[in-house]
Amino acid sequence: MPAAALAPSPDTPAALAVERVSLSFGGVVALSEVDLSVAPGEIRAIIGPNGAGKSSLLNVVSGLYKPDQGRVWLSGHSFAQTPTDRLAHLGVARTFQNLALFKGLSVLDNVASGLTHSLRAGVLAQIVGSPLARREKRAVEERAEEAIAFFHLDSYRDRPVGGLPYGVQKRVELARALIARPHLLLLDEPMAGMTLTEKRELTGYIRAVRDRHNTTIVLIEHDIGVVMGLSDRIAVLDYGRRIADGTPEEIRNNQTVIDAYLGVAHDLEAGEGI
Ligand SMILES: Nc1ncnc2c1ncn2[C@@H]1O[C@H](COP(=O)(O)OP(=O)(O)OP(=O)(O)O)[C@@H](O)[C@H]1O
């Protein structure tokens, strides 16, 4: 998608906006007046050296942290603190750095668990199998099958997740996050711990999700090659401040960014993308 088409305008409200967000832990400034605007359907990476504030920003967006000041805009609503319990209803899903799957459950059950928040039938109705509960169960299973097919997980469908290769587990996690059809998907270091082949594969799936469903994707990622190849735009944090925001090409040539990364400047230049 061309970057120019992504610039938010009054006619196309941002899928996510962060407005002058600041956050401190005791004396440590994690975020300082950070602004961010992500257009619908955009893939936006947030990068920066260790301790730059990337996770803090994602945690503010998803409501795990309340900023000292500033606001978060999601689906046209503005929050001083994002309500975590309403995240799914706001069309937001996230994955975590460490896999948070039910290891003993099958791929199908793990993927289906991404929709439990939306069930209207109570626990008792589910146990006795009321008509509503049965209808909901069928609908959830259909959606889970769809997600399993999309991520080519068919051959693992009934296997416990715990014994599957790491790259496959990551795909299950993505399928679970996407079964609720979020507008905005937050990915926390999705490529961590992966082999090059697994990274290539997952990069393809992330792109396919955006292309197929126009899902807005915000990811924190340390692998600069992945970031350069996958993102429409990249925001760079350093010491809690946003020091740059632009296309991969702009970021690659930004002297402030190169200085912030000093030791890894070579990676920025060399990052060819996957
Ligand atoms: N819960 C917390 N309690 C205290 N300090 C915190 C907490 N979370 C983050 N910090 C501090 O805030 C700053 C930003 O941390 P954050 O984890 O957001 O950075 P990061 O860019 O995600 O780093 P990394 O790439 O190493 O994960 C760091 O100085 C960190 O020590």
Q: What pLDDT, in 10s, does the model give residues 168-200? A: 999 999 999 999 899 999 999 999 999 999 999
Main-chain phi, psi angles of 157, to 5 degrees: -40, -50
Please give the Cα distance from 16 to 19 (Å, whole number): 10
Atom of ligand 1 nearest to the CA of 56: 18
Note the pLDDT tens digit of each residue in 23-78. Answer: 999 999 999 999 999 999 999 999 999 999 999 999 999 999 999 999 999 978 99
Q: Is 205 left (phi over 0), alpha (psi -120 to 50) or beta?
A: alpha
Average pLDDT of span 123-133: 64
What mean pLDDT value characterizes the chain? 88
Identify any residues that bridge with 25 across adjacent strands, giving them in sequence order: 28
- As a CATH number, domain 1-91+184-274 is 3.40.50.300
Nearest of 172, 40, 198 to residue 95 by alpha carbon: 172
Q: Which of 97-101, 261-265, 267-271 comes out lowest in average pLDDT?
A: 267-271
Domain boundaries, the chain: 1-91+184-274, 104-181
Could you give the 3-state DSSP secondary structure of residue 254?
coil
Q: What pLDDT score was predicted for residue 264?
A: 54
Both tokens assigned to 96: 């975590």
Judge if ipTM > 0.90.
yes
User: In testing the pocket of ligand 1, which one of 25, 32, 64 has its CB within 8 Å of the most ligand atoms?
Assistant: 25
Q: Ligand 1 pocket test: which of 55, 96, 97 has the largest number of ligand atoms within 8 Å of its C-beta?
A: 55
Q: Please give the average per-residue pLDDT across 10-23, as a whole number.
A: 88
Q: Give the rounded distance of the alpha carbon of 67 from its chain centre.
A: 20
DSSP string of 158-207?
Answer: TSBGGGS-HHHHHHHHHHHHHTT--SEEEEESTTTT--HHHHHHHHHHHH
Question: Is the minimum distance from the CB of 67 to ligand 1 under 6 angstroms?
Answer: no
Tell me the two tokens of residue 233. Answer: 């735009």
pLDDT of residue 121: 55
Residue 233 Cα to ligand 1 midpoint, Å, equals: 23
State if residue 127 touches ligand 1 by the CB under 6 angstroms criterion: no
